[in-house]
Structure 1
Amino acid sequence: MSESTTAARTDLPAKLADADQRYRDVEARIEEYGEETVEQVADAYRRAMDLLDRYEGQATGTGRENFQKFIQFQEKFATLVENLPDEMPERDAFETANDRFDKRRLNESDFEYARETLDSAGDIAGLLADREAALNEFREVRREIGHAIADLREEIAERERLVELGAADLDAPIEDIRDPIETYNAAVADAFAEFKSGGSARELLDFVAAVDDYPLVEFRDVPENLREYVQTREVGTEPVSDLLKYADYSNSKLDHYVEDPTELKRAVATNQTYLERLDADPLEIDWPPKPAADLRWRVEELVSVVARFADDEVVADLRSVQSVVRDESRFERLRTAAEAETELSDAERQKVASGEVESELSDLRDRKDRLEDARDEYPDR
């Protein structure tokens, strides 16, 4: 994290307090006049400014038409002022502006004078917009604090993870769990490759489709047009490798192998990448492995899935993996050591050993606490 980002996060509680105070100040001024009164002033000011803007260019000329506009303006502005409540704040400003227009000819300076005279009413009229702006600013700072808290939680989780890995026993015999997993992975990869090359495309894709019933074994869905083709055409009884080979043939050559070359091209050639990439990866076990509880459920599903195409030896290799998960506490100790070996760099190990990570953790937690306290102190409006 950059120093500027850290400084910005540090300033957020004060920024929120300032935004809250600005909102309170505007709200206090509105309460001083009363919400309804401020709305009255705002309405009067808005209508007055509309008249000034609309008639300034028309009521300041010398022609007959300009004179008519001048009369209309005088009447409308005077009516506006006469209808204002007697007790309305800054009513005298409207009267002063109206008095300025009580003459036989107007010029631009009269309109400028009126606008300046009505500035005090404009200040009151602007309180509603000021309050909305202050409220938006307050909420934006609270959102910034929420984002900052989320970022800090991620950073804390990362440091806590470093501490956990740094405490791992790097001399632990991780081969006790690695060897069974690697043995199984190699065996299932070979078995699936043999199934793919030796079995029919129909059997292979039926297998992949059936695995949908096992959510922890995630093959990509078989494209519908491909599955329908191998299910309903004689060529579907041939291996995938033959179908891919046919897809590269010209239509004239393909005529000797299938009834409808175009149909094969449409079903197989368009899904060539899918067929080529279909391998045992969804059946293999990650290294480092998932936690014992997760792995136990996955292995149980894999036993049922792998037994559909592989021999008993591969299933036995999988049960060897299952056996090392039974002692959960030992498995987790070895798994953490494996993760530390895989994920921790030498520099990170040194940081953990020196206590630097713990110091960073303490600082991050303090920052998060301050932001959470500020957010609690100033709840959303």
Structure 2
Amino acid sequence: MPDTAHDLTTGDGSDPRADADAARERLERASERLEAAKTAIDEAGGRETVETGADAYRSAASLLDRYVDLATGTGRETFKHYINLEGEYSTLVEDLPADLPHREAFEASFEAVDKRRLHESDFESAESALGPAERFVDLLQEEAAAEEEVTLARKAATDQLDALEDEISDLQRLRSLADADLEAPVDRLRDPIEAYNESIREAFESFLYDRSARTVFDLLERSRLRPFVDFETPPPELREYVEDNDAGTYSIPELLEYAEYSRSKLDHYVDDPDELKRRIATRQTYLERIDATPLTLSWPPADATTLRYAIRDRRPLVERIGGQELVEGLLAVRERTYDDDYDRLQTAANALDQLSATERERLQRRDIDAELEGIRDAREELEAALADG
């Protein structure tokens, strides 16, 4: 495999291969730490023994902490607490397995408080004698910490794996654009598309202001038969209102304006002001969103076949809006799809639209195939580490 590590930097300056290596190494270290923690538990007598010892240590430490103030000094209550401490501690030690490692630490700790009168120094001695048995707790805490680190490392590795997938997709996209002729005269496509888009926007705005809401809704309903035109069709209750009431003879901008009128003023325009306000106000956002966008042609353009279907679906609607003159602008775009160099210009247009200045520079100075190979290798190594860890 070629050494491409020095080339594997993204447009933002990060190094996905180095980041993946770091995530993999972290996961490997975390897995080794967990394995070492489990081995230490085995060497200390096994999990059952260590858990027994840890429970005993916590119980003993809790007894000492609970009775240090109650059982020190003199007096009847103090003696009563001393008796309780001695009984509980004696039972705890006696119940320990005979072969429990560090059993002598519990015995020595008990002996430190097995006196007729106790002082704080006796409890300090008992805690000190118990010290070696704390190893049980340390072993379990280290295992828990190692397990948490493995979880975090796996999460980081999974996130980095997602980042590698994104980088692979980006590199594949760049490679697909690498052969585009970035100097191609794409204005031969852009100019007729922009001219048509400008014309349809102007014509549609006039259509909205000059035609009744009923006529506009009829156009929108007809678009349902045109899969390449994605107008949002009118809500049924609004469609019904426009069809069945005289208010439907007003234009959409007029209806939106009337909805702001007072009821007394609106009474001069419609028979039922309340119904108009209710029907229009509740669908104001929908009405305000109606524009020519679904009839425009996107830039960069689609492939020739798709663009022809898009033009075919727009043609009858465009003719209703602006007549044959507007249709001619649409057909001028279709003519370009039959040019011998359409595919070259369309590919170049997509490349120019998708590639940032940084990405263009990247294409000029990078071996994309080598980068892909390096990133894929990093992905495989990280996937293997996740499978093992």
Q: TM-score range by the shorter chain?
A: 0.7 to 0.9
TM-superposed deviation, 1:7: 6.3
**Does 2:367 correspond to 1:358?**
yes
TM-superposed deviation, 1:23: 0.8
Is contact 1:251–1:261 with CA below 8 Å preserved after alignment? yes
Paired position in structure 2 for 1:142: 154
* Partner deviation per Cα, 1:222-248 (whole Å, 9 max, x = no partner): 567755643554312321122123134
TM-superposed deviation, 1:151: 2.6
1:133 to 126, 138, 145: 145
1:285 to 292, 297, 320: 297
TM-superposed deviation, 1:26: 0.4
TM-superposed deviation, 1:28: 0.8
Q: How does 1:1-381 map to 2 (within 5 A)?
A: 1=12, 10-32=21-43, 33-162=45-174, 164-165=176-177, 167-205=179-217, 207-208=219-220, 211=223, 217-220=229-232, 222=234, 226-227=238-239, 229-269=241-281, 271-291=283-303, 295=307, 298=310, 302=314, 311=323, 331-344=342-355, 348-353=359-364, 355=365, 357-358=366-367, 362=370, 366=374, 369-370=377-378, 372-379=380-387
Unaligned runs of 5+ in 2: 1-11
Task: Report the AA paired with residue 29 of structure 2.
Answer: D
Which sits farther off after the overlay, 90-99 or 172-181?
Answer: 172-181
RMSD of aligned Cα (Å): 3.8
SS in structure 2 at match of 1:289: coil
TM-superposed deviation, 1:155: 4.0
C-alpha distance in structure 2 between counterparts of 1:3 and 1:219, whole Å: 42
- Are residues 91 and 306 of structure 1, via their aligned partners in 2, closer, same or farther at CA, if it must alter by over 3 Å? farther
C-alpha distance in structure 1 between counterparts of 2:252 and 2:301, whole Å: 32
- Are residues 145 and 378 of structure 1, via their aligned partners in 2, closer, same or farther at CA, if it must alter by over 3 Å? closer
How many residue pairs match? The answer is 377
Q: TM-score, normalised by structure 1?
A: 0.80
C-alpha distance in structure 2 between counterparts of 1:378 and 1:13, whole Å: 8
SS in structure 2 at match of 1:104: coil
- Are residues 34 and 197 of structure 1, via their aligned partners in 2, closer, same or farther at CA, if it must alter by over 3 Å? same
Task: Report the AA paired with residue 22 of structure 1.
Answer: R
- Are residues 116 and 243 of structure 1, via their aligned partners in 2, closer, same or farther at CA, if it must alter by over 3 Å? same
SS in structure 1 at match of 2:387: coil
TM-superposed deviation, 1:38: 2.0
- Are residues 301 and 111 of structure 1, via their aligned partners in 2, closer, same or farther at CA, if it must alter by over 3 Å? farther
SS in structure 2 at match of 1:85: coil
- Are residues 322 and 75 of structure 1, via their aligned partners in 2, closer, same or farther at CA, if it must alter by over 3 Å? farther
C-alpha distance in structure 1 between counterparts of 2:304 and 2:47, whole Å: 63
Is contact 2:20–2:382 with CA below 8 Å preserved after alignment? no
C-alpha distance in structure 2 between counterparts of 1:301 and 1:380, whole Å: 55
* Partner deviation per Cα, 1:305-351 (whole Å, 9 max, x = no partner): 66776756656765665675579x95443222113344546665445
Q: TM-score, normalised by structure 2?
A: 0.79
TM-superposed deviation, 1:164: 4.6
SS in structure 2 at match of 1:88: coil
C-alpha distance in structure 1 between counterparts of 2:168 and 2:151, whole Å: 25
TM-superposed deviation, 1:292: 5.5
Which sits farther off after the overlay, 14-23 or 163-172?
Answer: 163-172
TM-superposed deviation, 1:79: 0.7
Task: Report the AA paired with residue 18 of structure 1.
Answer: R
Task: Report the AA paired with residue 63 of structure 2.
Answer: L
C-alpha distance in structure 2 between counterparts of 1:249 and 1:225, whole Å: 22
Unaligned runs of 5+ in 1: none
Task: Report the AA paired with residue 247 of structure 2.
Answer: V
Is contact 1:149–1:372 with CA below 8 Å preserved after alignment? no
